[in-house]
Structure 1
């Protein structure tokens, strides 16, 4: 049976002090070195004779007793063995390195037991020895112990140096492996980059060649087209039949009503609706305080056609399809066409007289210039004056025709033919947009 002390640490220290024995503390863990040391202890207990001169305590790494012992004595590695003098608590030796065999540990224990309490024969002989002899023996033992400690320190330094060299060599090998791996990786990256660059260059070359082929093909196609167009131009032209665009059949007519205050609203009507239906809708929609029944009339924007309530034609027959703009005017604000015609004739007469005087003045100027500097082609001012005279003549003819047709104005709005446009020079000059828009244009919406 192994003589390990089974009590607490405090009790073991007290027992070692009372018996003046060698106090051995063995701290271990679950490592392989600790298991090897346990086998050494089993061998030692069978070899030692006088076990009463020592107190052996075994502590596990994770126990509370080990933590109490570590509070006084430092433990850095496992396993660790402390040899303590039981009389005064002095640490005689500490072993924290693995041993080769159990004989080494047995020698250490025997030497320390002799230091603490010499053998019985020595004690009996000491009575006959003098003080000088005792001191000499003690010095010899102390020197021996110091020499032994020095040897152990040298051995430890040697082991440490070997371990340091081994670690240095290992680190050097690891560094060389890392450097080789880095060089290999860099070489692989360079090779990959070269392959990618080569593929990209080949792709660019193929793209450039393709672009050249496309340009060449395009140039040849254009050249052939030009030759074919030249041949076609040289051939007699072949008459082709015109393709008629299909007409759109509208089912609704969208009318926009504009009031005198600038507001407007829109409503859809069927194509067969009459003006009576439109007036009935306005009677329900317009405010009664401003537009009473019979106090307003409807008129188109550009042709100036008045659409009365009793007009028998439908919206389709009046050409108000697909959309049109109608002005809602008060009857008191409507100016008769005759007054407008008279005003227009007056201004046109003044313009005609002024143009005639300018022509006379220009004729005199050209005559004098020809006498002094010779003949020359007519200037642009003369041509402009003549064109202005022609325009005035055409305007006068249109005014004359308008006078003859002003009585038939309402009759033309109800005919089944195309609605005629009532030409007013003054209104057309004031409104530039009315020269390009028609009454049915969707741009007014």
Structure 2
């Protein structure tokens, strides 16, 4: 594409003279402008423009020339190319092309439209010229008819002549005048017909131009709407992407903060728990040590294998050997000593340690297990005592009924044997354990009580001689001897 070197008025004058297309390129500063300019400078487009003698100018988007041009032809999109005919009507406006082939086809189509428009204008001009020639011929005929009319008037004025000789000449003159009038009427009708045809052609051309302008405006409006739609879609997409990015950032920050907070919380809770454990252990150890140190007396509770217990106080500075000797002397047999909490079995190495060192002060509970008796024997004796107690509890109602019947019938025989007497070795073991328990806890029985089965009765020694006082009374006000 070769740009016109002169000013814009000169370019317009040249385009009108050549009856060619006037091309105006509105350039911007973007990639689309460079792409469109490359399409204009292609060999095919340059050849088409040179063949059709097209005049092309280039205007910058913000220049004064562009502003003056936009006052006549509105510039909607930059870059854009205006193809204007020699009559000043825009033939095509190219704002965007997807490919170079499409751009070339649009240029070719626009140049063909200009050719057809020029041909139509040439035909209209020839019609106007023929109409002018007809008008001139009519004028000449009128001029020729005037002398004839004048001659006829002169002949009439001469009057007196030979009537026979002048009659034939007069008739021929009238015929020529009538013939001239007919020709003038034909020319006038032909002129009117041509003027009507020319007016019709002009109306058709005007309508075509109006349709072209309307089509151009619709195209421009469609381009504006399309561009606005694209911009709106682009803005919406950018907003959506921005919102999505912000949401992802917020979610990521929340997850990181939650993870960090949970980690710190767990670490702090674990540290507090460990610190509490350590402090509690230190406090317990210090308290036990302080109590053991301050206590001068150790209160020891000995728990026997049969369930009985014995409590004794010792000085806190005494050795464990003293405790061991005490319990051996009391039971008369070798024993093993241990504690349940904390679980510990005392050995020979602990005999020379004080009660404070062994944390047995101010109080402690020691389990006493005879060495000659195995764990199974201890459990069997304990179970035997438990069985005897349960049997006595179950049979006591029958013993009560038996005593009532005996008292009503007047029998004074001995009561049925107690369950303790009916049990085997287990019962004897339980009885021995009961004796040991009673001996350890309460010592020998006093003479002011007596036991019948599982019931112990108290009596007043001062009233032993009273017969009635020795009798027992049942719950239903009946007396039992």
TM superposition score category, shorter chain reference: 0.3 to 0.5
The TM-score normalised by the length of structure 1 is 0.40
Structure possessing the higher relative contact order (Cα contacts under 8 Å, 6 or more residues apart): 1
Greater helix share, structure number = 2
